[in-house]
Amino acid sequence: MIALLRAAVPLFLAMVAGMVGSLVVTSVLGKHDTVTLAAFAVVTAVLNPAGAAVQGALRGLGPFVAPYRDDPAAAVPIVRDARWLSLATGLVGALAVICVPLIASATGVPGEVVREMGLLPYFLAVSLLVFASTGGSSTILIALGHTRSVLWPTLVSGVVLGGLTVVLVPPLGLTGVGLAWLISGTAAALVATYGVRRALRRPVGQARPRTGEIVALAKVSIPLAGTVLIKFGVLGVVTFAAGTTSTRDTAAHAVLTTLTGFIMMASLSVAQAAMPDVARAPDPAGARRANRTAALLAVMGTLTGAGLLLGLGEQLLRLFSDDVAVRERVLGLLPLMLLASLLDAAQAVQGFGLTALKRSAASLSYFAIGYGLLVVAAVPVARAWGITGLWVAMAVANGLLVVLQGTGFHRHSAKVGRVLVG
């Protein structure tokens, strides 16, 4: 458990650094102009799921690289294959970001907001391609046991993004954000590429795409991207459902969702750090032991975060809202949100475990069931029981996923060491 904790801490710090950079951008834009912030929010509504889908697809590389931890140079051909796949997924995501103004106009977003976007979608699309060009550097470093090296690209990105945003937004508006995003992403990509080269002990170099091997990677990676899109899409519907309630309840839901993001960082970092251990396990007992350890540590991290939230309570919520009624609503729903987050943390570990076993397609099917039921229930539940009902529904959906993903992991891990998984 200590080894896993040491591996997870740098990943947790990397997530914090990335979130701080994003918060600086939001804060600066909010003080700059309301229309500018609204335009940024519309663009990132597409950028976030597109980027998360690309990142999710790159995580599928982990179980292919992890077996080469003792001979990293032998993983170079796989890394080259992954780069081709990541560029393909990145291109799809970049095209989606470029189309944001057209999508916004077609869906009734005010013209002044669409015009305010300017060149931002293009800068962010190029930035997404730059990220994809690294070929899943973070996943490679985690798989090879170099989790500390994951922190530096994110730290560089967060510092450069925050600093350039403060300097460029006042004179350039959203164009300044676009430049800051692209420059910080490029700097992070350079640092990540250097880290991967050190971990592999040789340059990655160039090679023709190996179609069969890329397809094998895609069978694990693409379902992961699908899982991310399902989660983002359904949570978007839940947010829309919350918007059909009162204004204060909608604001309270937004605060609770933000707090959930902070809570989940611990479990996600542990789940990623544990993936190589599960992938390298020689037998079912080893895979299940690694998974149990990760689940226990993820739950402990979530409970620690929950304790901090409950302890700080009113003082912390003042950072999110000046409305006393909103803060009281959040405080009343905090235990329910923490339950939903705890269950989400547990299911996330199982999902990453299935990815380590190269069974991400099974995880995708479980998400389709659990979140499919949630998306059907969201609007009727919100109308009948408000956001309290919505958070109960999310807790139930996450609980169902714990059962489905946990059962699936147990079943598929039984094949470790007996047959080739792939």
Give 229-263 pLDDT, tens digit per residue: 888 888 878 877 887 787 778 878 878 887 888 88
User: Backbone phi, then psi, for 146, in 5-degree steps?
Assistant: -105, 55
> Residues 140-145: what's their mean pLDDT?
89
DSSP letter at 118 equals T
Quick one: pLDDT at residue 419?
Answer: 47
> Residues 146-168: what's their mean pLDDT?
90
Q: Report how far residue 409's alpha carbon sits from residue 217's, in angstroms, rounded to the nearest whole number.
A: 20
Quick one: pLDDT at residue 343?
Answer: 94
Q: Report how far residue 347's alpha carbon sits from residue 299's, in angstroms, rounded to the nearest whole number.
A: 10
Q: Report how far residue 336's alpha carbon sits from residue 306's, in angstroms, rounded to the nearest whole number.
A: 11
Give the residue from 12, 32, 21, 19 showing the smallest Cα distance to 181: 21
Give how far Cα 294 sits from Cα of 3, 17, 277, 300, 350, Å: 11, 23, 10, 10, 9
Q: What is the mean pLDDT of the chain?
A: 86
Which range is least confidently modeled, 20-24, 60-64, 95-99, 115-119? 20-24
Is residue 200 within 8 A of residue 75, CB to CB? The reply is: yes
Is residue 374 within 8 A of residue 394, CB to CB? The reply is: yes
Each residue of 313-356: pLDDT tens digit?
777 777 666 778 888 888 889 999 999 999 999 999 999 999 99
Q: Report how far residue 81's alpha carbon sits from residue 62's, in angstroms, rounded to the nearest whole number.
A: 13
């309570």: which residue's tokens? 313
Quick one: pLDDT at residue 320?
Answer: 67
Single pTM value for the model: 0.82
Dihedral sign from CA coordinates of 126, 130, 135, 141: negative
Quick one: pLDDT at residue 30?
Answer: 67
Q: Is the pLDDT of residue 422 over 50?
A: no
Q: Report how far residue 3's alpha carbon sits from residue 289's, in angstroms, rounded to the nearest whole number.
A: 14
Q: Is the pLDDT of residue 421 over 60?
A: no
Q: Which two tokens stand for residue 334?
A: 């905090």
Q: How confident is the model at residue 11 (pLDDT cuts 50, 70, 90)?
A: confident
Each residue of 178-204: pLDDT tens digit?
999 999 999 999 999 999 999 988 888
Q: Is the pLDDT of residue 57 over 80?
A: no
* Burial class of 266 by CB neighbour count within 10 A (0 to 12, 13 to 18, 19+): buried
Higher pLDDT, 225 or 376: 376
Q: Report how far residue 226's alpha carbon sits from residue 85's, in angstroms, rounded to the nearest whole number.
A: 15
Q: How confident is the model at residue 21 (pLDDT cuts 50, 70, 90)?
A: confident
Give how far Cα 336 sits from Cα of 125, 237, 256, 371, Å: 37, 19, 10, 18
CA dihedral of residues 107, 233, 263, 331 (deg, nearest 10): 60
Q: How confident is the model at residue 420 (pLDDT cuts 50, 70, 90)?
A: very low
Each residue of 360-416: pLDDT tens digit?
999 999 999 999 999 999 989 999 999 899 999 999 999 999 999 999 999 999 988
Distance of CA 130 to the CA centre of its chain: 18
Q: Is the pLDDT of residue 276 over 80?
A: yes
**End-to-end CA distance of the chain, in Å?**
28
Give the residue from 11, 272, 7 showing the smallest Cα distance to 153: 11
